[in-house]
Chains A and B, each alone.
Chain A
Amino acid sequence: MNARDEIFAAVRRSLGVTGNEAPRRAAVEARLAATPTGIIPRRGRGEAAERLATFKAEAARAEASVVEAAALADLPAEVARFLAENHLPATLRVGDDARLAALPWEAAGLEISRGPSDGDDANAASAAFAGVAESGTLALVSGADNPTTLAFLPETHIVVLFAADLVGDYESAFARLRAARPSPRALNFITGPSRSADIEETLLIGAHGPRRLHVIVVAAS
């Protein structure tokens, strides 16, 4: 017997099953189809304003900075302001996301480059697939619109979260993922900038990923 067959046989021997029991198969198929939710914390529920307040508080706990922008058109100025305030170069790498690509970044004094990162970019911006209020988490998905490398290689990652995409809990983000076409290869939950406490349990921000995570929530228009 090959490894696969032998492992399945051993598992079934231990469970005392054959693998052909109809009730077991039905139970598994039902769970995979229905994807039941369990306990969802109250914290993430509530109206949009409440969700936003929770998101901001939790993201701040995770050392991310969060600001609000009244409109998409305000983004270039807000990004330029953030970079200048933190003494960062006025450069930005973005993907093909139409909402970001169309903005007049150059008019705000920013030098723009496009596509995935090869590790030489100081700053990058991505649009979030969703935000999760309960833990101040951002959900990003892979693809040309917002290349995954933008979220991990640059020292500063700016994430644009459209207020309409802010959900309360992980389950709501997963529901959106199931509906997404085409289905993306990867979903990245990001909660604050990268960190390590491996040296004497001292929390240090900026391990292998970004040192700064800045979230700009664009109000629903």
Chain B
Amino acid sequence: MTAAATPSRFRENIAAALGDERLRGLSPHVQSLIAARAEAAARLPEFEALRDSARAIKDHALAHLDLYLEAFERKATEAGGQVHYARDAAEATATIVDLCKAHGAKTVVKGKSMVSEEIGLNAALDRAGIAAVETDLGEYVVQLREERPSHIIAPAIHLTRKDYEAAFRRAHRDLPADRDLSQPERLLAEARAILRAKFLAADVGITGANFLVAETGAAIVVTNEGNGDLCQVLPKVHIVVASIEKVVPTLNDVAQILRVLARSATGQGMAVYTTAAVGPRRPGDPDGPEEWHVVLVDNGRSAMLGGPFRDMLRCIRCGACMNHCPVYETIGGLAYGWIYAGPMGAVLTPSLIGVAEGGALATASTLCGRCEAACPMRIPLPALLRQWRERAFARALTPAGERFALGLWAFFAKRPALYRLTTGLATRALALVGRARGRFSWLPFASGWTRSRDLAAPQGATFQSRWRAKSGRVK
């Protein structure tokens, strides 16, 4: 699959993903992340209460977003930082490209940032003749392969060590061709050496931010590799690019959310590096950037704030919803066709690029509820997915066959007596016909199911009639 996959071609993307042997390897990875989260949550008795606390903090911050943005801007500016605003992706990339050009930058090192993917920053820098190097190991290999990340915190979760090896051999042509890259340790050592040189040579470092702190003006960056810190501390200029909903009131509020972030993401009690930095180096500081910029990006957030998808702005990009999603586990992240995958991606994507382009993603869910159960910020993802389905239906974006079937079902569902009669008859008829084999290998209108497996024949009564019979006996 290539980066050309788009959300509007979701069905084709899914078909391609289901045929991709490599994605069969995804399941053990997400299962290990699920187990790690469960263990970490169980080790902290206050975990569930912290989820409530974290949700309340973000709800409060969003309800007062204008004022906390003002406070953040004031503090960041007082510390010598420069705050820029961008309404959309084009404005954000233009601002960053201009900053890089003003410093004559040739190379830029980047920490992993979803919003930079969202605004297409690397392509914009490339067009300006500036080489942007991703430094998170997974992002780096994804960049070498000219792909997109397939997971928020594990961008290369869809790749194997062989894929890394092939990408490194293609890109690192100065190294001996007969070197051993068969083990993950060797791959990491090679990437570390190559990227260390890039860090030391870069003119500008660009990172995202996990939080912006109104109390101090600091941007907080969380990583395990330390690449985000090298991006911040080595180049002469550090540019933070962050969407406006990242602002939280105080450091103490950050502490609440940090306690659920890493536990939900990887099962760590705390990520290895959590750095809160504000402004350029101070007099007497021997290291740190000479200039510090924050580019605050709206790109659809202010509109989400006023609609039914405001809850989605609580998202802290931990990836727990995708780990827990059976659909994500089966098709991987690239099939979603844009930047954000899994349940959060299916809710956020149509909010940012429109329901016509991104609405199909909301169909990729059984609404099983595991995402909501795992979400540290208690975002009601299934309810939001249903909202998008309703909107797609209302705007006649749903395929004609599906609309007809839904209309037909609605006709009967609104007439309970008729519904009971027809479903009762149909169930008995199917039970009669299927009695011999107990299952069907083909049924009209059900080829989507029966193409790859049999449909079990009903046993003779409908769910409703059995429920009535049973509820007569229970209190």
Q: Which residues of A contact B (CB under 8 A)?
A: 2-4, 6-8, 10-17, 19, 24-25, 27-28, 31-32, 35-39, 41-43, 58, 61-62, 95, 115-116, 118-119, 134-137, 142-144, 147-149, 151-153, 169-171, 174, 177, 182, 184-202, 204, 206-210
Contact = CB atoms under 8 A, between A and B. Distances in A.
Contact of B215 (A10, A13, A32, A195): A32
Interface residues of B, number: 101
Interface string B243-287: 010000111111110110000001011111111111111101111
Interface in B57-96: 57, 60, 63-71, 79, 84-87, 91
Contacts of A13: 302, 306
Given A170-B258, A200-B29, A147 B44 contact: no
A32 B249 contact: yes
Q: Which A-B residue pairs are the 4 nearest by beta carbons?
A: A209-B226, A14-B306, A207-B225, A198-B138
A28 B68 contact: yes
A177 B281 CA distance: 17
Given A3-B86, A119-B196, A198 B137 contact: yes
Given A35-B251, A208-B226, A148 B53 contact: no
Given A2-B85, A14-B306, A116-B287, 18 more contacts: A10-B298, A28-B214, A28-B249, A31-B249, A35-B215, A37-B252, A38-B50, A119-B196, A144-B286, A149-B234, A169-B255, A170-B254, A189-B273, A191-B269, A195-B225, A199-B187, A200-B184, A201-B33
Contact of B154 (A32, A134, A201): A201
B457 interface: no
B372 interface: no
A74 B215 CA distance: 40
Contacts of B402: none
A36 B272 CA distance: 26
Contact of A14 (B60, B86, B160, B302): B302
Nearest to A95: B286
A36 B224 CA distance: 28
Contact of B32 (A19, A149, A201): A201
Which of B68, B185, B232, B272 is packed against the most chain A CB atoms within 10 Å? B272
A103 to B, nearest CB: 20
A198 B279 CA distance: 31
Contacts of B266: 197
A202 B135 CA distance: 18
A185 B87 CA distance: 29
A42 B302 contact: no
A62 B79 CA distance: 33
Contacts of A193: 272
Which of A118, A134, A197 is packed against the most chain B CB atoms within 10 Å? A197
B195 interface: yes
Nearest to B140: A198
B318 to A, nearest CB: 15
Contacts of B45: 41-42
Nearest to A210: B226
B389 to A, nearest CB: 23
A26 B138 CA distance: 44
Contact of A207 (B29, B71, B164, B188): B188
20 contacts: A10-B298, A11-B65, A13-B306, A15-B65, A32-B249, A36-B252, A37-B252, A41-B259, A62-B268, A136-B270, A143-B282, A143-B285, A151-B229, A170-B254, A191-B269, A194-B225, A196-B138, A198-B141, A200-B160, A208-B227
A135 B269 contact: yes
Contact of A8 (B63, B66, B71): B66
Given A41-B259, A189-B273, A119 B226 contact: no
Contacts of A37: 252, 255
Contact of A190 (B33, B161, B272, B298): B272
B136 interface: yes
Contact of B271 (A24, A27, A191): A191
Interface string B126-165: 0000000001111001000000000000111100110010
A142 B269 CA distance: 24
B196 A208 contact: yes
B230 interface: yes
B321 interface: no
Contact of A149 (B224, B233, B270): B233
B461 interface: no
A12 B306 CA distance: 9
Contacts of B156: 198-199
B303 interface: yes
B29 A142 contact: no
B50 A116 contact: no
B264 to A, nearest CB: 15
Contacts of A153: 230
A185 B278 contact: yes
Contacts of B185: 204
B274 A189 contact: yes
Contacts of B304: 14
B66 A12 contact: yes
B27 to A, nearest CB: 11
Contact of A201 (B29, B188, B225, B251): B29
Given A15-B66, A192-B272, A199-B161, A144 B253 contact: no
Given A38-B53, A201-B32, A208 B285 contact: no
Given A11-B305, A143-B285, A152-B226, A177 B66 contact: no
B284 A32 contact: no
Contacts of B192: 206-208
B118 interface: no
B286 A38 contact: no
B200 interface: yes
Contacts of B218: 187
A126 to B, nearest CB: 12
B161 A38 contact: no
